[in-house]
Amino acid sequence: MKSYPNLGLSASNDNNSRLSTSTTKAKFALRFIRSLKEMKKRGHVSNNSSADERSQRIKAAAYSSMAHAVGPRRAWARALLFKLQRSAKRHRVLTNMTRKRNRSCLVLRQKKNKKKKKGIKKKKSVTNGNDDVLLNQTDKLRGLVPGGKSMDICSLFEETAHYIKCLATQVKVMQDIADQLSPK
């Protein structure tokens, strides 16, 4: 609680200079906390659920809140939301089945996906020295940035820049929250 006024003061001090970042950060925090609340309200995060599941859910909440905060203007946000929705749908469908089956299916699908990705990458990779390295790296980056697989390099870099910004903000928000939650 002691860090609290400091934060406020610091925010008020460089009011103008940090206006945009602080607003984005606040937006992110708001979204994230809201999504956490929603999660709790729905009873997804209960005491009987494992920590792993909870962390997964929180992570999904973090990403989705981030994407929501950014809005659909950004390709990565769109892709992220789509991915999350799809996974959520799948999850919902799967929750109707037994949990064991559910997990095995998930694992299987993940494995399949991984295999597919690997195959694509191998096909794409062109042996050309330096270009090869760059291609590999851009492929890696495509894998990291949501929706990056269908982007050209130019927009990939642009989206990556924005994505990095948002991720950093999100990390900061989560860090703050974790600091607040952690025993003082």
> What residue ranges bind another protein (CB under 8 A)?
1, 4-5, 7-9, 11-12, 15, 18-19, 22-23, 25-27, 29-30, 33-34, 36-38, 40-41, 45, 47, 51-52, 54-59, 61-63, 130, 133-134, 137-138, 140-141, 144-145, 153-154, 157-158, 160-161, 163-165, 167-168, 170-171, 173-178, 180-182
Q: How far apart are CB 20 and another protein at their closest, in Å?
A: 8
Closer Cβ to another protein, 5 or 122, answer by number: 5
Closer Cβ to another protein, 108 or 164, answer by number: 164
Kindly give, in sequence order, each residue whose CB lies less than 8 Å from that of residue 165, ignoring residues fewer than 6 positions away.
none
The residue written with tokens 């694992």 in the block is 107
Q: How far apart are CB 10 and another protein at their closest, in Å?
A: 9
Q: How far apart are CB 25 and another protein at their closest, in Å?
A: 8
Closer Cβ to another protein, 98 or 137, answer by number: 137
